Amino acid sequence: MTSPFGTRLHAAVAERGPLCAGIDPHASLLQAWGLDDDVAGLERFALTAVEGLAPHVSVVKPQSAFYERFGARGIAVLEKVIAQSREAGALVLLDVKRGDIGSTSQAYADAYLDPASPLASDAITLSPYLGFGSLDPFVETARRHGAGLFVLALTSNPEGPEVQHAVTGSGVTVAGRMLDHLRRLNAGADPLGSFGAVIGATIGESELDLDIGGPVLAPGYGAQGGTVADLRRIFGSAAAAVLPSSSRELLGAGPDLRALGDAARRTNDELAGLRG
């Protein structure tokens, strides 16, 4: 069994910084790079981004949907992205936001977390809104293989509060309950738990305790408006466990490999203060 994801992530961040680089092949970005919106363009874009970014960041986060839209050949490109990112020393967080029950959850967990699968990643994103207990197959599989999970908790999309801010019968918000579950899963982990939350870098103020003993993925940094000051204000003493995620701002530096690497290093330099 490999060492727990939280341990490996803690070491990677200490060596490379906290930046999580999203590799999301939007059709508009393919066009901006002078590529056709087809499988050939997808592969050229994605593998160039891996070559330029993966050696310089602790985590690479491909969004599965942008590969799935090309069918089986797109998934084949995603497999290459995962393999080549790991070869470059980055951990891979596959952004799939899965969430189901029973045997279906187990099948998803096997697809994305079992090392025998060509899509196996270091961690994945999940949706808990069929009930946190529906994620048990993912939790058990992650523990078995030393993988990590990032569970949606407080997202910055305008529709999110309809569910996440709703109050349960015990007077706790749904988001607060999700964080409590994660805190329980991470209890006793050292130096960092393997069960993370997804909390937007642009959510504004929150009265919730965001220290869950594990990592926090904070999408929305950079082009979507999130700043270092926002991260400090939102997360406070928990900021050292935050992985700010940026996609469009980094990818906009391509297709030049040196420019991609420079963008990653520059962003990590900006984020150094989070662990100061």
Q: Which two tokens stand for residue 15?
A: 């060596």
Rounded CA-CA distance 204/108 in Å is: 33
Rounded CA-CA distance 229/18 in Å is: 15
Rounded CA-CA distance 43/33 in Å is: 12
Element containing residue 143 per DSSP (H, E): helix 136-145
Element containing residue 20 per DSSP (H, E): strand 20-23
Rounded CA-CA distance 186/221 in Å is: 25
| 171 C-beta neighbours (distance < 10 Å), count | 7
- 150: phi then psi, degrees, rounded to nearest 5: -125, 115
Q: What is the DSSP letter of 4?
A: P
Q: What is the DSSP code string of 160-174?
A: THHHHTPBPTTS-BH
- 256: phi then psi, degrees, rounded to nearest 5: -70, 125
Asked if 80 is an active-site residue, the reply is: no
* Alpha carbon distance, N-terminus to C-terminus of the chain: 33
CA angle 143, 136, 145 (to 5 degrees): 20
Alpha carbon of residue 186 to chain centroid: 17
User: Which member of 80, 97, 183, 265 is catalytic?
Assistant: 97
Q: Hey, which residues are catalytic here?
A: 97
